[in-house]
Structure 1
Amino acid sequence: MESAVFNLIEDLDQSTTNWKIKARVTRMWISVSSENGSVEGYTVILLDDDNNHVHAFAYLSIWNGFKTLVIEGGVYVFDQIFCERCCDLFAEANKYQPQQQPEFAIDVIGVIENFEPLTKLDTKFGMLKEEGYLSKREKYLKAAKSEFVQTFMERMTLKDLNEKLTYDDLKKRIYTTFSVVKVDEDVAWWFYSCNKCQQEVERLDRRFRCNNCPRIIPVAPKRFRIMVLAEDDIFSCNVMLMDRAARRIVGTSAAKAYNDFEKAPEKGLPQVLKYLVGNEVTVIIQLNKENVTEDSTIFDANDIFDTTTQSPSPSKSAHILESSFINFSG
């Protein structure tokens, strides 16, 4: 019920000046006046439990009035927030005067002038490139290229998936098309996940423990895991719509669906999940060892390959782009 108290970042717009959000400060820096060098305030990047970021600014008088010391990585409640519309860079660029240099974007903060030609400098280990030295990234790309095998998407029907699978099938990229007949209300449709490995975590009072990493984390985002009865022309079985696939079909996040559901009077399933029934979708199936060794007939759909119908629940993913800069009004 705590999430119902706060607004999500994707909900923020210019309709009010009293938004209240709970977010993590992922980055922060001092904003200095270009005229006299005085500190004007603090700029922060905020992240909520729906994995949405927003750029925010607090004037120095507001910042100094905070009762709690704000540090990077900390989670805080911010209220009395208002949004400002983003600047249109193309419109600003068209305002250049003839004597200005339009080849430089307006967000460039510095230009190198009078630099000398590049030269090679010896390190204490010699000329590493000439001696075959590779960075970690170059080693990874070289290994990936040498081991790369061209993979193709292979279409399977639900009946094909329920036939005897082999270990070779685990290496295939498989997609299948089906209609959603039913959403299973007896299986939890969301879970708390680790923000690093995205596996399910265990709740410990006000913290969470990831047994996969393993580590303790203060905030765990909600992710979809929706069990549906899938049916094509000749067969039916259970398919688990994992977070990426589910988000793209229903057009919203698990945190937003949960937040709306907590405010709604009906019980059972959120309305956006009820909209799934009757939709025909084409998904990418990620086979696991249980599908091969234990004849598990529950298949994980981890992404959408294509959709033949549009979701009746429109996405708000672009909403914050119109008002993606926020201020603390004090």
Structure 2
Amino acid sequence: MFDQLSSIDASRTTWKIKARVTRMWPSVSVTDNGTETMKGYNLVLLDDDDCHVHVFVYADNWKYHANKIVEGGVFVISNFYTKDALGSLRPVSSKFCINFSPSTNIERDEDDFMIATHKFEFVDLSDLFVVVNAYEKPDSPDYSTDVIGVLVDFEHVWKIKTMYGLKDICKFRITDGRDSHKVTLWGNLAVTTDARVKEVKAGFKDGEEEPIIVIASSTKLKIWKSSVQISTLPASKIYINLDHDFVFAMRQRVREEGYVPFDKTTSSPTTTDVKEVVPVIETVTLKELSEKTSTDFLKMGFMCKVKVKSVEESDNWWYGSCNKNDCHEEVIKFEGKYQCARYQKNYPVPQKRLSKNKFSLYSYQYKYVTLKDPASYPPPLKQIAGREITVKVELTDDKILVSSTISVPSQSDGAGTPGSALLTSKRVKKEK
């Protein structure tokens, strides 16, 4: 069983998580003569509950893990430290940061379709002035910014003289058909982006060029001459026509709004290692579980063996939600933007979250409904109908069973033998 990233704090080090490495980059210091020294390595981890956190590994510890980790891979990670996320221009909004030590255990796992390949915290282009003007420290804001839009006015890479010698640079504008802002890339990021744009344009048919959708993650914003300027950081990454729902949604948005390419005008407006006593998890029936209504059972975990009667396929699998880690509210489309009522924020495209789908579990004549599911209806989920599974559940004060982990026996296993975990972080509630 795995801990959710959203539940981790600094109380102990004996955590065990399963997450995807969505991004990784080095932290370097540069001397006056331009020499670079590596201070450590950074990762962004994303789990199946759509929560992502920043990981920093000091250079002395990175040598223990460097050959194990690849970007995009899914890993089981245990025994690590956590601390409050501090500093400026942080890559994600999580309130804590993870540190690996030499004793941190990292194992590559098979790919998991329940964990998304990417997560971004987009800010709508029309809100960038508001964001910059709200900075308490304009030169070092708390967080970096993710933006998405159409790439226009691309200037191919050239070299410019700096105090550290000649550096590669390229520029373009990012627009959503309403607002437009200038983006400047430096160094290797400029070179790789230039090559990717050339590759994409080379694939277009004559007269059929479609909008190139660009995502710029972990960028820095500043106002210069009444315009928002977007520049990159060591954590920044540029995605050109990424194969993702965000890109599809953005392309649909600009097409629906009759997008016309912009011209070159600017728009205005340390904790100590603590040994944990692991409690024994009680195995109960669904009937016994339904009778545990006392507050004494809150946050307690139980194991249940049940039989899946059927899998409901009629509902939608995904819904558009707020981009923040701690908000699962559904966003409302208004005037071309997606609005979160809870945080009063606008997003250019919604964050896709797994919606509420159903399958009925049968035991002692009680039915339960399990929520959470993937982008397209997966064959493995259909195959659990009629089979016995083991469910780990946790009771909360709203009398709904949450944080359920389901393991399914393989075809050759006995009925009561848990197999590989197919579904995690499910929400379960009783159906009358």
TM-score, structure 1 length as denominator? 0.41
Of structures 1 and 2, the larger Rg is shown by: 1
Between Structure 1 and Structure 2, which shows a larger proportion of helix residues? 1
Please identify which structure carries the higher strand content. 2
Kindly indicate whether structure 1 or structure 2 has the higher relative contact order, using CA contacts under 8 Å at least 6 residues apart: 1
* TM-score (normalizing by structure 2): 0.33
